[in-house]
Amino acid sequence: MRVPSHWYGYMDDIWVKIKTQEVESFTAHINTVDKNIEFTRENTKDNYLEQDGFSKNPFFHGLIAEVPEQHKTKEGHTKIGYALYFYSYSSFVGRAIYMEDLYVMPEFRGKGVGKALMSKVAQLGLAAGCHQLNFTILDWNKPSMDFYLSKGCFNTTATMGYHCMRCEGEALKYLAQLSNNPHDLLSSAAMRSVHAMQGWSTTQCPSKT
């Protein structure tokens, strides 16, 4: 799939145009300014950052915060923060939006940039009919936790007992093969019936968020 040469995003009432190649230079700069950040590109055969985020049917969407030229960093960067999000679903409340990343360069923190990015994600979620904004945060990141709590967010682990689970690598491949086992409790016939419901070609377990 051909990667477009430019990315367009809506940021704080302004359409922002960013050259695709600038995205990599921006993320490379992020890796140099914050030891807690390691933003990498996926170079596997069928999974590229550009393809997943900048194709006709993207897996994720992004917003980039940009400052005027006179406020650029000493390295010459004007892109100083970003938010990465995608749409999800909750069987409890319906449509939801998930914020995977929210990052602002250290020298620009405390100036409302993070708040503006998060607010825009919330606006986009509401415009799409979403009822929730979900995201995760590391337990050691107290400044960010305080920031989110001050904006009316709450900790679902503390209040509802949810824990974030993950399956990846060989475990993911093993899990995917389990449905091919003829001794599974869910028979092949039953699986075909599930697939046939409402024309589904695959099944997904909706997150309880």
| Maximum C-alpha span of the chain | 66
Whole-number Å distance between alpha carbons of 153 and 94: 18
Whole-number Å distance between alpha carbons of 130 and 122: 9
148 catalytically annotated: yes
Whole-number Å distance between alpha carbons of 28 and 105: 12
Catalytic pick among 10, 148, 162, 174: 148
Which residue, 3, 36, 39, is CA-closest to 21?
A: 3
Residue 28 near residue 40, CB atoms below 8 Å = no
List residues with catalytic annotation.
148
